[in-house]
Amino acid sequence: MTYLKLQNIHMKYQNEYIIHNLNLSLERGELLILLGSSGCGKTTLLKIIAGLIHPEKGKIFIEDQDIIEFSPQKREIGYVPQSQVLFPHLNIKENIAFGLRARDRSRSLKKKDNNKIKENSKDGIEQKIQDVAKLAQIENLLTRFPSEISGGQKQRVALARAIVINPRLLLLDEPLSSIDASSRESLALMIKRIQKETKTTTIYVTHNQQEARLIADKVAIMYNGIIQQSGTMIDIDKYPKNFQIAHIMGQLNIWEINSQKFDQGHLIITTPLGDIAIASKKDKNITGIQIHPNKIELANEDEVIRQKKILDLDFSEQILIVLGKIISIIQFKSKVYQIIIQINLNKVEKPFNYLKMQTQDQDLIKNLLINQNIALKIDTKDIILF
Amino acid sequence: MKNLKPNSKIETEGLLNKLIVGIVITALISFLLTFFYLPLLKILNFALIQNNSFTFEIFWTTLTSSLNLNALAFTFIQSLLTTLICIFLGMPVSYFLAKYSFKGRKLLINLLTVPFVLPSIVVLLGFIILYGEGGIINRIWIDITGIPLIKLYGSIEGIVLAHSFYNISVIIRMMIPAWENVDQNLTEISKTLGGKNWTIFWKIIFPQIKNYLISASLLIFTYTFNSFAIVLYLGEVKYQTLEVRIFKLMKNTLNFPAGASLGIIQLFFNLVIIILYIIFEKKTRAMASGKEKPFYHEKIEFSKSNWKKILVEISLIIFTVFIIIFSISPMIAVIVASFKPNTPDGSPFWGYMSLLSKDYESLLGASPLRLLLNTLSFALLTTLITLIFSIGIVFILRNRLQRLNNYKKPFIENIISLAIILPMGTSSITLAMGLFLQLKNSAVFNNNVWILIVLAHVLICIPFATRSILSAYNRIDMDLLNIASTLGASRLRIFWKVELPMMKSGLIVAGIFSFAISLGEFGATNFLARAEYGTLSLGISKLLSSRTLQLPASMASILIIITFICFFLIQKTGEKDLKF
């Protein structure tokens, strides 16, 4: 059964739709990473789900119950915004207790004659705080004030504060954005661990695909106001639906194409790499191309000369030759080297384009020098078209 | 299984919140309507309606009378002069205090701010003791040069000097953050790019402080524009501000329509200045918030360096010391005068003893002790009412803010801010005049005029208080309120548990500031007060021309001490929320 379902969400920002007919669904206990570039409406979407802003149109279901008319108080959704905000006048313990106390007051009156009257009684609250503090490893910070702890600790407290109310859904907005690089990974893993231990269904917003790779159960990619593609990380890596998605997923060697025409069984596309002819039976609309870094090889002189000769005559040649200059060579993994090549189109006015090539050939690497001009060959069959 | 039923408690709290907002809005609107907008209409009525028909005649004859035109011209000229002198005197001091670190720097800044909150009549007394005909400084000057340094009465220099004394603190206080916000990196980059010092100042530094300077100047201009007590006593017949002119028309010649017309003219100019001020103040805030993080203000330590720098530093120090002496000498003069008997065999405590006597009852309308009690109780009442209303205003604003939260243009917020601007742009005499015209035949005016005095004080204080509270409120991160609501806290709970504690400092400052303003308010009180409802300020003003200044100086000393305590408390709690 689908646990969370967003249906036809519409939202305007200053008379323009930033979310336009968005749909999304999520299973119980899942961690969904919502991936999209800055300003694509991710934060707005979270605020809509939390009930902080009301969408123009749309429905939100949790377990088949439409909560769109519920106030944020009633939704029981944990929300951790991008800015690390703790109540500055309360110490860490009181910060965490804030939600429990608020609920205690609003519930105890209602369930007067219930047996579980004081689910959030004084002892109950204390116990819950201790539990969640242990979970988030902040036991020793409880008596401190927000101004006295570090950014990473603040974020853990914010997480604990959101999770302690046992929310039906947890929303995290770029939780690592203001954390220094060295502690990002451990915090991300902690979030994942807490999420799994508490079995809290979670939406985690980020623009950083590396963060997503670290912890995602499922990824949803958002731009132009809708979810463009969702699935597991592996699925999307393998079959990105289009050029933008490949770009957001941080894939290498992807380019937009400038123009295209169909001619004698060939699709001729103008790209930053030059004109490329690809055998095709019919004309089709292409938005971009991608070349896998390990599908690129060095070309020898013969191939370069041959390419020059036949370029204008016959496109049936299935090899693309690209000339360039080596900018850097780095050891990427233990045996894989990555070479960054500046593509030389002899057009200074254009922005430079760079191509990344990966190889395991140690002998090849030994013979290459920075700033050296080289020719590369790419089999046009290896070019992925979007 | 989760609780899926709608939470009725929260529902009722939501309703309660709406109810409270409704009540607060109604209370605020009816307060402002009865005591501000209706009186304002009454003023319009007096100015523009004659024999039940609309006419510009009174308005026009008032405006074109040479006496009134002179007053208008003088009001502008003295405001402009004061503003320029304050900039000239205040800028070097503010630069010095912003850039150099030394022991007692904070104390100095606060000491220099005290004149601004000092009751105007106390300042006047201080000036008379120092620069008056038999004043200390003039006597010294005559000994040296044979002529008096300054003619205090019936001269423009006396008025401008007293106004400058009042307002230098505005420049100093507002320019310190400006100098601190000057991006040192930009200056350094310009130096590496080969910029000359003078070019760097005009092209790099000045644009960064320009808006602060303009806001501060506009503030000084408007305060001086509406000056009353000082001009009333020092200007004699020759020099009158609009404020004084209106007062005389209303009280001496009983020409209500003319007073009302002038009031409208004054209100118009005030609004223009205030709106300009708000525009420029917004710009300074935008500049400050556009910066990623607050700069680390690197303060210069005094150190041995080249002679040119030392020369500059020494002249800065001398200049600052001069301004400090200028700023605190009137207060010291008043306190000294309070212990200085008129006759050789008089007691130094005669002034303070007389506070308890009934000898001056006929002259003052009440015993000095009664005046002191009046002053304190008016101030307390004013503080209380002002705080309640200011919290109300902020409460309404926050309800709007939270809902709109960037997604729609805050239309209602603009209307509310406009409704607050109008009282801000209304001078105390105009406020009092409106209340007087509206209620002059009522039982309240005849029997309990103190109510009207307190109301006038409240109207004068609300803009200051609201701005202090808003300053604290605006520092609260909206996301914090969002979190609180997702955690299940109702609107009211958020208000009590998050917003109120977080704007506590602003509230305290607003309260103390209101207390201090009410304590020394002179214009409106003087306009409205009758019989036993006078204040210390009024009492001092009545004794200004008496044989001995010991009694008024004693009364003024009490006001100085209370003001000092107020200011000390402000400094302790939340100085950054102090808004002029």
Provide the token pair at B188.
């350094």
Q: What is the mean pLDDT of chain B?
A: 84
From chain B, the residues in CB contact with A82 under 8 A are: 479
Contact A102 B477 (CB under 8 A): no
Fold of A2-248: Rossmann fold (3.40.50)
From chain A, the residues in CB contact with B14 under 8 A are: 71
Domain closes at, from B290, B311, B338: B338
Chain A, chain B: beta-carbon pairs less than 8 Å apart: 96
CA distance from start to end of chain A = 34
- CA B400 distance to own-chain centroid: 28
Q: Which residue of A has its CA nearest to B490?
A: A73
Contact A83 B493 (CB under 8 A): no
Tell me the C-alpha to C-alpha distance, in Å, between residue A162 and each of A171, A179, B143, B564. Answer: 9, 18, 77, 46
Q: Which residues are registered as beta bridge partners of A230?
A: A220
**Same domain, yes or no: B432 and B544:** yes
Per-residue model confidence (pLDDT) at position A111: 46
Q: Which residues, in sequence order, are CB contacts of A354 under 8 Å at separation 6+?
A: A327, A340, A341, A342, A343
Segment B452-473 shows an average pLDDT of 88
Q: Which residues are registered as beta bridge partners of A375?
A: A323
- Contact A103/B at CB under 8 A: yes
From chain A, the residues in CB contact with B476 under 8 A are: none
| Coil, helix or strand at residue B568 | helix
pLDDT in tens, B547-563: 778 889 999 999 999 99
pLDDT in tens, B82-140: 999 999 999 999 999 988 888 888 888 888 888 888 999 999 999 988 888 777 888 88
CB A105 within 8 A of CB A142: no
Q: Which residues, in sequence order, are CB contacts of B26 under 8 Å at separation 6+?
A: none
Could you say which of B479, B488, B497 has the minimum Cβ distance to residue A81? B479
- Contact B154/A at CB under 8 A: no
Per-residue model confidence (pLDDT) at position A116: 47
Phi and psi (nearest 5°) for A292?
Answer: -70, 135
Could you say which of A83, A98, A110 has the minimum Cβ distance to residue B9? A110
Contact B4 A65 (CB under 8 A): yes
- Contact A105/B at CB under 8 A: yes
**Same domain, yes or no: B257 and B401:** no
Per-residue model confidence (pLDDT) at position A140: 92
Contact A102 B489 (CB under 8 A): yes
Could you say which of B483, B489, B502 has the minimum Cβ distance to residue A81? B483
From chain B, the residues in CB contact with A51 under 8 A are: 485-486
Domain closes at, from B338, B362, B384: B338
**Same domain, yes or no: B328 and B378:** no
CB A89 within 8 A of CB B502: yes
- CA B282 distance to own-chain centroid: 19
| Residue B56: inside a domain | no
Q: Which residue of A has its CA nearest to B407?
A: A13
CB A377 within 8 A of CB A298: yes
**Same domain, yes or no: B367 and B268:** no
| Residue B313: inside a domain | yes
| Residue B13: inside a domain | no
- Contact B9/A at CB under 8 A: yes
Evaluate the CA torsion angle A187, A192, A193, A195 in order and state its sign: positive
Distance from CA of A88 to the nearest CA of B (A): 8
Q: Which residue ranges in chain A fall short of pLDDT 50? A: 108-117, 312-316
Phi-psi sector, A346: left (phi>0), alpha (psi -120 to 50), beta: left
**Same domain, yes or no: B161 and B111:** yes
Greater pLDDT, A25 or B152: A25
Count the Cβ atoms, other than its own, within 10 Å of residue B31: 19
Query: Which one of A4, A10, A65, A73 would you mutate to disrupt binding with B, by most B Cβ within 10 Å of its Cβ?
Result: A73
Exposed / middle / buried, residue B250 (Cβ in 10 Å: 0-12, 13-18, 19+): buried
Tell me the C-alpha to C-alpha distance, in Å, between residue B431 and each of B75, B107, B334, B436, B513. Answer: 19, 35, 30, 9, 19
Q: For B148, which DSSP code? A: -
From chain B, the residues in CB contact with A75 under 8 A are: 486
Q: What is the pTM of this model?
A: 0.80
Query: Which one of B17, B399, B483, B494 would you mutate to disrupt binding with A, by most A Cβ within 10 Å of its Cβ?
Result: B483
Per-residue pLDDT for B409 more than 80? no
Count the Cβ atoms, other than its own, within 10 Å of residue B402: 16
Domain closes at, from B338, B371, B388: B338
Provide the token pair at A70.
């519920």
**Same domain, yes or no: B184 and B223:** yes
Provide the token pair at B275.
């709106």
Contact B485 A72 (CB under 8 A): yes
Per-residue model confidence (pLDDT) at position B331: 92
Q: How far apart are CA B292 and CA B184, in angstroms?
A: 15
Evaluate the CA torsion angle A127, A128, A133, A134 in order and state its sign: positive
Evaluate the CA torsion angle A320, A326, A328, A332 in order and state its sign: positive
| Residue B50: inside a domain | no
Tell me the C-alpha to C-alpha distance, in Å, between residue B427 and each of B73, B227, B467. Answer: 18, 9, 17
**Same domain, yes or no: B161 and B268:** yes
Distance from CA of B292 to the nearest CA of A (A): 13
Could you say which of B477, B482, B502 has the minimum Cβ distance to residue A52? B482
Per-residue model confidence (pLDDT) at position B478: 81
Per-residue model confidence (pLDDT) at position B4: 39
- CA neighbor of B96 nearest in space, from B312, B308, B296: B312
Q: How far apart are CA B106 and CA B97, in angstroms?
A: 9
Q: How far apart are CA B98 and CA B175, in angstroms?
A: 8
pLDDT in tens, A353-384: 888 888 888 888 888 888 888 888 888 778 88
Per-residue model confidence (pLDDT) at position B559: 94
Query: Which one of B486, B490, B502 would you mutate to disrupt binding with A, by most A Cβ within 10 Å of its Cβ?
Result: B486
Indicate the Cα dihedral angle A160, A162, A164, A165, nearest 10°: 170
Q: How far apart are CA A351 and CA A353, in angstroms?
A: 6
CB B527 within 8 A of CB B250: yes
- CA neighbor of B488 nearest in space, from A19, A178, A119, A134: A119
CB B402 within 8 A of CB B394: no
Give Rg (Cα) of chain B: 26
| Coil, helix or strand at residue B210 | helix
Segment B4-12 shows an average pLDDT of 48
**Same domain, yes or no: B268 and B410:** no
Per-residue pLDDT for B294 more than 50? no
Per-residue model confidence (pLDDT) at position A184: 87
Phi and psi (nearest 5°) for A260?
Answer: -150, 150
Q: For B56, which DSSP code? A: S
Contact B486 A106 (CB under 8 A): no
pLDDT in tens, B219-255: 999 999 999 999 999 988 889 999 999 999 998 888 8
Domain spans in chain A, listed from the N-terminal domain onward: 2-248, 254-385
- CA B430 distance to own-chain centroid: 16
Q: How far apart are CA B553 and CA B545, in angstroms?
A: 12
Q: How far apart are CA A92 and CA B334, in angstroms?
A: 52
pLDDT in tens, B490-503: 878 888 889 888 88
User: How many structural domains is chain B composed of?
Assistant: 2
Provide the token pair at A241.
């639906």
Exposed / middle / buried, residue A49 (Cβ in 10 Å: 0-12, 13-18, 19+): buried
Contact A98 B405 (CB under 8 A): no
Per-residue model confidence (pLDDT) at position B414: 65
**Same domain, yes or no: B364 and B489:** yes
Contact A102 B487 (CB under 8 A): yes
From chain B, the residues in CB contact with A88 under 8 A are: 502
Domain interval for residue B214: 62-338
Q: B103-140: b or e for each residue (b if 16 or more CB lie within 10 Å)?
A: eeeeebbbbbbbbbbbbbbbbbbbbbbbbbeebebbee
| Coil, helix or strand at residue B344 | coil
**Same domain, yes or no: B144 and B213:** yes
pLDDT in tens, A183-208: 888 899 999 999 999 999 999 999 88
| Residue B30: inside a domain | no
Phi and psi (nearest 5°) for B556?
Answer: -65, -35
Per-residue model confidence (pLDDT) at position B475: 81
pLDDT in tens, A14-47: 778 888 889 999 999 999 999 988 878 888 899 8
CB A377 within 8 A of CB A299: yes
From chain A, the residues in CB contact with B480 under 8 A are: 85, 87
Residue B357 is inside which H or E element, if any?
A: none
- Contact A112/B at CB under 8 A: no
Chain A (165-224) residues lying within 8 Å, Cβ to Cβ, of chain B: 165, 168
| Residue B579: inside a domain | yes
β-pairing, A218-223 vs A65-66, is: unpaired
- Contact A154/B at CB under 8 A: no
Could you say which of A75, A78, A83 has the minimum Cβ distance to residue B479? A83
Segment B402-429 shows an average pLDDT of 66
| Coil, helix or strand at residue A100 | helix
**Same domain, yes or no: B301 and B368:** no
Contact B405 A53 (CB under 8 A): yes
Could you say which of A12, A13, A103 has the minimum Cβ distance to residue B488? A103
β-pairing, A202-206 vs A169-173, is: parallel
From chain B, the residues in CB contact with A102 under 8 A are: 484, 487-490, 493
- Contact B292/A at CB under 8 A: no
Q: Residue B381's domain is classified under what CATH number?
A: 1.10.3720.10
Q: How far apart are CA A308 and CA A289, in angstroms?
A: 23
* Per-residue confidence band for B398, with pLDDT thresholds at 50, 70 and 90: low
Could you say which of A72, A87, A106 has the minimum Cβ distance to residue B498? A87
Q: For B304, which DSSP code? A: -
- Contact B5/A at CB under 8 A: no
Q: How far apart are CA B32 and CA B390, in angstroms?
A: 12
- CA neighbor of A220 nearest in space, from A209, B490, A210: A209
Q: Which residues are registered as beta bridge partners of A374?
A: A324
- CA A96 distance to own-chain centroid: 29
Contact A102 B484 (CB under 8 A): yes
Q: Which residue of B has its CA nearest to A77?
A: B486
Per-residue pLDDT for B305 more than 60? yes
From chain B, the residues in CB contact with A161 under 8 A are: 483, 487
- CA neighbor of B400 nearest in space, from B298, B470, B341: B470
From chain A, the residues in CB contact with B498 under 8 A are: 87
Provide the token pair at B310.
């030392």
